[in-house]
Structure 1
């Protein structure tokens, strides 16, 4: 089973890169399942129903969110009627939407996807370890599902690594989002789980985390805001991770980064050539 996960879409340029390139990637690599984090896709803050549908129409099977889930207020409403949009699993009870769901891939495999937020340097939420464990207990890999993808939206690399190791062997992929910079630690953990601390972003890397440089530099150097943050408008790099999942075990057989376009050095998934 071929799985593609792409990091946070940032603004118009990130959306354009995804909608332009994803259909070709799905066809070229015969992708079975695609997950994309979209929490920064609407002007850098949140997601709208129209944008969500555009990303799904381009070939994504699931769109995940994070700490900017509700920056566009309409998301509180349309998430209830869009089962392929996930907000953090460990939000308080009663929060609209869902944090995990079971989907059917193009090859017929049952894929459990979770979107979970960390707590280190982030908002105080329910324990992410306990939240993930409950979902895995209810839908264990190899029994009720054939693959498990965990988007761990967190700030601290230590917390991301801890989640990866804690659930090693129980998930197909644990991948970090939120920090917008792709890490070089893609690997298969000893128990068979594919891991990467951060998938990076689908956005313009001639920026400060996808935002036009002027306002962040102004605030860092003077502590005086002059305006709002705006997404950078240069060519975006499509950034993420590719995983070849063993259909017998649901664990990772191969893993590789993907980077296309923009300023970063390109990386294509040789595991699928």
Structure 2
């Protein structure tokens, strides 16, 4: 099984890059399932239901979230009704949606995708390590492939999660920081790992946002509303091959491609 997982989609450039190129990428790379973190797809913050539907129509099989997934309330009913959409599992249970979804495709074993969020330099939330352990223990034995999107700020927390889940899941990928890291690998226990997938957004930007606004905030210390940058987009993420029978990762590589006109 070959899986593509795209980093945080940021604003219109990220949306265009994914919707215009994903079908071709899946064909050229032999992708069986494609996932993406979509929590910043709508204008740079949050995810509207119309954009989620557009990503599904373009070929994204599942969308994970993060701390901005709650911005647009029109998504709440979709979080409850659409099994392709996730929010971090360690938010309170009574909130809309789920952090665990099972994806089934003809000819492939079922795939569990788990979405959790970190605590270091992030809003207070339940322990992601305890939350993920409970999820894994509860998964049926006939689901050999488990992919974890750990939406977290601190690299140390992400790396720790990778080792915590080594040999327990097929792959752990980090999101949230929008900077693709250079540490794609398969851990000795058979778990694919990458600290951060990067982003799908404007190439000439500061984490997908307009650089001049970011600079002004640093230079003056004054608050300013961030805006998604415009211009040519890039796609970043990871491609990993999974052994269908064992659920172990066979290979883990970063993916990066410029948007094509």
TM-score (norm 2): 0.96
State the match for 2:256 in structure 1.
Answer: 259
Determine helix, strand or coil for the equivalent of 1:114.
strand
The offset of 1:115, in angstroms, is 0.7
Alignment partners' CA distance in 2, 1:95 and 1:229: 27
Contact 1:32 1:107 in 2 (8 A): no
- Whether 1:246 and 2:243 are equivalent positions in the alignment is yes
Map 1:1-273 → 2, pairs under 5 A? 1-139=1-139, 143-225=141-223, 227-261=224-258
The offset of 1:248, in angstroms, is 1.8
Alignment partners' CA distance in 1, 2:49 and 2:120: 30
Find runs of 4+ consecutive structure 1 residues off by over 6 angstroms.
none
The offset of 1:54, in angstroms, is 0.9
Give CA-to-partner distance per residue, 1:100-122, whole Å, 9 cap, x none.
01111353310000110000010
Unaligned runs of 5+ in 2: none
Alignment partners' CA distance in 2, 1:107 and 1:64: 24
Contact 1:32 1:106 in 2 (8 A): no
Contact 1:33 1:106 in 2 (8 A): no
Contact 1:4 1:34 in 2 (8 A): yes
Give CA-to-partner distance per residue, 1:206-263, whole Å, 9 cap, x none.
21110011111111101123x521111011110000001011211111111110006x
The offset of 1:152, in angstroms, is 0.1
Contact 1:8 1:38 in 2 (8 A): yes
Contact 2:108 2:244 in 1 (8 A): no
Alignment partners' CA distance in 2, 1:6 and 1:139: 24
Contact 2:87 2:115 in 1 (8 A): yes
The offset of 1:8, in angstroms, is 0.2
Alignment partners' CA distance in 1, 2:116 and 2:127: 10
The offset of 1:76, in angstroms, is 2.1
Alignment partners' CA distance in 2, 1:3 and 1:60: 11
Equivalent residues, number: 259
Instruction: Let me know the Cα RMSD of the aligned residues.
Output: 1.2
Give CA-to-partner distance per residue, 1:147-167, whole Å, 9 cap, x none.
100000000001101110011
Q: 1:214 to 1:228 in 2, by over 3 A?
A: same
Alignment partners' CA distance in 2, 1:10 and 1:253: 30
Give CA-to-partner distance per residue, 1:95-144, whole Å, 9 cap, x none.
1111101111353310000110000010111111111111111116xx22
Alignment partners' CA distance in 2, 1:72 and 1:166: 33
TM-score (norm 1): 0.92
